[in-house]
Amino acid sequence: MNTMQVSFGEKKDNAAQAEHAVKMSARDVKVFYGDNEALHGINMDILENEVIAFIGPSGCGKSTFLRCLNRMNDTIDTARVTGLVTLDGKDIYDRSLDVVQLRAQVGMVFQKPNPFPKSIFENIAYGPRLHGLVDNKRDLDEVVESSLRRAGLWDEVKDRLEAPGTGLSGGQQQRLCIARAIAVSPEVILMDEPCSALDPIATSIIEELIDELKGSYTIAIVTHNMQQAARVSDKTAFFHLGNLVELNDTREIFTNPQDSRTEDYITGRFG
């Protein structure tokens, strides 16, 4: 009975997708590490309130591309990005743009949970304070609580908000990092292998969370776990050797991919 309800829900989502606006867009995006061209001109639209998964073998460029979406590649000295990346139609590589502000709008969750070596409360409070999103302690408390609630962590930590964030389990730490990203009211959340360091139960909880969050945010997730991409995403993009080979509805990619390289990868014919 439950599974039937879920599948009806998915159908409705798919029908609604047609009306989703373009949230982020990439045109002819190339990334160079020194002289080495790592991404060969990627074109992609990411739609609002949709989960898009990037899959592909190691070194295919999926993480590199994800990092273009909030200018994380800026932090690598040898990296150079060309082409156009837009958020709500605005060029995010524009010189006048505030990168700190961009990274609040386009948040990121990393492979390894990386809470600050501070209390659980401070982990969440840091961003809103930095961005001046709150005026007083009461507002701050509210943001911390609502962020932890949205990340499904509140009930587990509400009695120990002053305990160090690093003392939580791996899965809890990852949800803390998601809560931290949410606290600054992002529009897009980028996730780079968010579950690869987690056990299956913690992974399921994060996947469930992704499903809930997509109502409010646009989510792009890099994953090595193809079943995870199949479970959580609406769209799947397959990268290979620095190219975007195929981008389609997840239901199509996993049942009837159009490119033989996609098929070979998702069926375990090369890795």
Interacting residues with other proteins (CB under 8 A): 226-227, 230, 253-260, 262-264, 266-271
At residue 260's C-alpha, the angle toward residues 258 and 261, to 5°, is 115
For other proteins, the closer of residues 146 and 196 by Cβ is 196
Q: Which is nearer to other proteins, 82 or 267 (CB)?
A: 267
Distances (CA, A) of 55 to 73, 143, 161, 233: 19, 33, 36, 11
Rounded Cα distance between 92 and 119, Å, is 33
Residue 13 CB, nearest distance to other proteins (Å)?
21
- Spell out the residues 6+ positions from residue 254 whose beta carbon is closer than 8 angstroms to its own: 226, 230, 236, 266
The minimum distance between CB 220 and other proteins, in angstroms, equals 21
Helix (H) or strand (E) holding 180: helix 170-182
What is the amino acid identity at position 40? H
Smallest separation, CB 115 to other proteins (Å): 32
DSSP element (H, E) containing 157: helix 154-157
In this complex, which beta carbon is closest to other proteins, that of residue 52 or of residue 109? 52
Minimum distance from CB of 258 to other proteins (Å)? 7
Q: Any idea of the CA torsion for 198, 199, 205, 207, to the nearest 10 degrees?
A: 70
Question: Does residue 220 sit in helix, strand or coil?
Answer: strand
Shortest distance, position 269 Cβ to other proteins, whole Å: 5
Nearer to other proteins, 153 or 253 (CB): 253
Neighbouring C-alpha atoms within 13 Å toward the C-beta of 105:
16
Residue 10 CB, nearest approach to other proteins (Å): 17
Q: Would you say 244 and 46 are in contact if contact means Cβ atoms under 8 Å apart?
A: no
Query: Toward other proteins, which CB reaches closer, 121 or 265?
Result: 265
Among 241, 231, 257, which residue's Cα sits nearest to residue 221?
231
| Least Cβ distance, residue 264 to other proteins (angstroms) | 8
Please give the structure tokens belonging to residue 20. 């989703």
- Cβ proximity to other proteins: between 132 and 271 the closer is 271
Please state, in angstroms and rounded to a whole number, the distance separating the CA atoms of residues 248 and 253: 6
- Closest distance between other proteins and the C-beta of residue 180, in Å? 32
* Residue among 158 and 269 whose Cβ is closer to other proteins: 269
Rounded to whole angstroms, the Cα distance separating 218 from 48 reads: 5
Using the minimum distance from each CB to other proteins, give the nearer residue, 215 or 271: 271
